[in-house]
Homo-oligomer: A and B are copies of this chain.
Amino acid sequence: MAKASSGRKLTKKDYEARVPAVREALIQLQIKLQAAPFPVLLVIAGDDASGKGDVVNLLNGWLDPRGVETFAFHDPTDEERERPPMWRYWRSLPPHGRMAIYAGGWHGDALAADPRTPRELAEFDSTLARLTHFEGLLADGGALLVKIWLRLGADAQRDRLHELEGDPDTAWRVSPEDWKFHRDYVRRAALGARLRRATELAAAPWHLVEAADPRARNLAIADALLARFKQHLRRHAARPAPRKPRRITPLRPVGLRMLQAVPLDQTLGESDYAEKRAKWLGRLNRAVRDAAQHGRSIVWVFEGWDAAGKGGAIRRLTSAIDARDCRVIPVAKPTDEEKSHHYLWRFWRHIPRAGRVTIYDRSWYGRVLVERIEGFCRPEEWRRAFEELNDFEAQLTAHGIIVIKFWLHLSPAEQLRRFREREKTAYKRHKINAEDWRNRRQWAAYETAAGDMLALTHRPAAPWHLVAAENKRFARLEILRASCKAIADALERE
């Protein structure tokens, strides 16, 4: 934890002598940060009535407001309530080069809940663990997080409440709850300390700032910001660009073996397929409606070799689902807005509302497949991603979302046959391009990466279904069947 500011009083004269230089330095750094390939997240949290709002407004005045957005999380809206709790923080994240100020941070909700019983405190701790994970994820993604904690002693708190009440312009800011919390100062301060301990991170430490004297407080905050801004710019400049690796070596050979053990000789005759398909489509339709009636959303993930039949399988699936409740998200090159956010942001964007369906045609697993192989991210980044992806899905499933993941498997020979067929058929020609052929030449690399992915992200709550896709009919039916089962199992466990 960063050292607390001294808490000495500052004369108005001393303060005003220092402010212009501080403001200019801040603006200068803000300009530099605007060109930086990372966002800046500024958390202004603190003890009750410690002046968080004043600080937020001060910083908005000192900084160029065109590059800053301020967020305060009040009661979640219904669109937010229907998604995992972290969704509303994810959607607030600024792109590279911009700054967000979080009044109360994402920590405010946890403190407002005012936990007391052992059970409430356990929930408080688990919320904090989730927030810590979130901050770690953002910091690992390159974001600069500056977390300020405004500390206010009991006497200073009482004085401040009186002062606010005394001015007709600010009296409205003092509520009966403020006085209630003041009478309970020791317990509330301990809660704050518990929060700071739980959410302390090397990459995102708390800066403790004495808040009793606003002038000293302001300068202490400015000093912390300036130091962190400079440090982060320096560190980032020193960071080498990622490079394409020469070789892809397996982390978990068992995954590769799983993949190679998929029996590709399974087939299904035309008439057999037609009959079974009708039955399973009907079942799937009922299963999806059942899930919706229980307020459960479904997220399908389709990964697999080029030409393995993802598109066709998705088309069969959607034919059984009411299109009004279903979105298909084709995951290709990110848009520039997506590129200037954490790599998971573009997937959080499309998480369905309660009772709806999102089908991802390729997904967040691109991080450990194409990005690993082509060197679009650094080795430590894709290595870390396995755990990040597991955690992301754990958040979905914890919220009741049913996650169904398919890997469509294929032999190189069958892929070649399909590529050639596509090239011959006029209306399929758009489905094949130079990139497909390039990926094909890297078959072994993709196989290794896919093997690691399967081994490291196969979890009970979000298991992988390996589908033999050598025969399209067999694969499509298998997908219908596995989907029905996954939904039924999830509803049964309720």
List which A228-255 residues lie within 8 A (CB) of chain B: none
Bits for A98-118, please: 1 = Cβ < 8 Å to B, else 0: 000101000000000000000
Q: Among A101, A323, A330, A337, which residue has the most Cβ atoms of chain B within 10 A?
A: A323
Check if A322 sits within 8 Å of B53, measured CB to CB: yes
Give the distance to chain B from A19, nearest Cβ to Cβ, in Å.
Answer: 14
Check if A67 sits within 8 Å of B330, measured CB to CB: yes
List which A69-127 residues lie within 8 A (CB) of chain B: 69-72, 77-79, 101, 103
Check if A319 sits within 8 Å of B60, measured CB to CB: yes
Q: Determine, out of A23-31, A390-398, A448-456, the stretch whose residues face the partner at the interface.
A: A23-31
Bits for A20-38, please: 1 = Cβ < 8 Å to B, else 0: 0000100110010000000
Check if A61 sits within 8 Å of B427, measured CB to CB: no
Chain B residues with CB under 8 A of A27: 427
Chain B residues with CB under 8 A of A323: 56-57, 59-60, 70, 101, 103
Q: Among A24, A31, A285, A324, which residue has the most Cβ atoms of chain B within 10 A?
A: A324
Q: Determine, out of A129-137, A310-318, A371-379, A380-388, the stretch whose residues face the partner at the interface.
A: A310-318
Interface status of A68 (Cβ within 8 A of chain B): yes
Give the distance to chain B from A170, nearest Cβ to Cβ, in Å.
Answer: 10
Interface status of A327 (Cβ within 8 A of chain B): yes
Check if B311 sits within 8 Å of A169, measured CB to CB: no
Interface status of A64 (Cβ within 8 A of chain B): yes
In the assembled complex, the Cα of A283 lies from the Cα of B316 at a distance in Å of 62
Chain B residues with CB under 8 A of A66: 311, 314, 328, 330, 361
In the assembled complex, the Cα of A282 lies from the Cα of B230 at a distance in Å of 35
Give the distance to chain B from A227, nearest Cβ to Cβ, in Å.
Answer: 19
Chain B residues with CB under 8 A of A77: 77-79
Interface status of A286 (Cβ within 8 A of chain B): yes
Category for how many chain A residues contact B = 35 or more
Check if B282 sits within 8 Å of A65, measured CB to CB: no
Chain B residues with CB under 8 A of A24: 427
Interface status of A326 (Cβ within 8 A of chain B): yes
Interface status of A336 (Cβ within 8 A of chain B): yes
Bits for A269-308, please: 1 = Cβ < 8 Å to B, else 0: 0000000000000100110000000000000000000000
In the assembled complex, the Cα of A240 lies from the Cα of B336 at a distance in Å of 27
Check if B64 sits within 8 Å of A311, measured CB to CB: yes
Chain B residues with CB under 8 A of A69: 327-328
Interface status of A433 (Cβ within 8 A of chain B): no
- A328/B68 contact (C-beta < 8 A), A60-B319, A60-B323 known: yes
Give the distance to chain B from A58, nearest Cβ to Cβ, in Å.
Answer: 9
In the assembled complex, the Cα of A65 lies from the Cα of B319 at a distance in Å of 10
Interface status of A335 (Cβ within 8 A of chain B): yes
Could you pull out 11 A-B pairs where Cβ atoms are within 8 angstroms?
Answer: A28-B427, A60-B326, A64-B315, A66-B314, A67-B330, A68-B328, A70-B324, A70-B326, A77-B79, A78-B79, A103-B324
Chain A residues near B (Cβ < 8 Å): 24, 27-28, 31, 53, 56-57, 59-61, 64-72, 77-79, 101, 103, 169, 282, 285-286, 311, 314-315, 318-319, 322-324, 326-328, 330, 335-337, 359, 361, 427, 430
- 7 nearest A-B pairs in the assembled complex, by CB-CB distance: A72-B324, A66-B330, A60-B323, A70-B323, A65-B328, A61-B319, A65-B318
Additional 19 contacts, C-beta under 8 A, given A66-B361, A70-B323, A77-B77: A27-B427, A28-B427, A56-B323, A57-B319, A57-B322, A59-B323, A60-B318, A60-B326, A61-B315, A61-B318, A61-B319, A64-B311, A65-B315, A65-B328, A66-B330, A78-B78, A78-B79, A169-B286, A337-B337
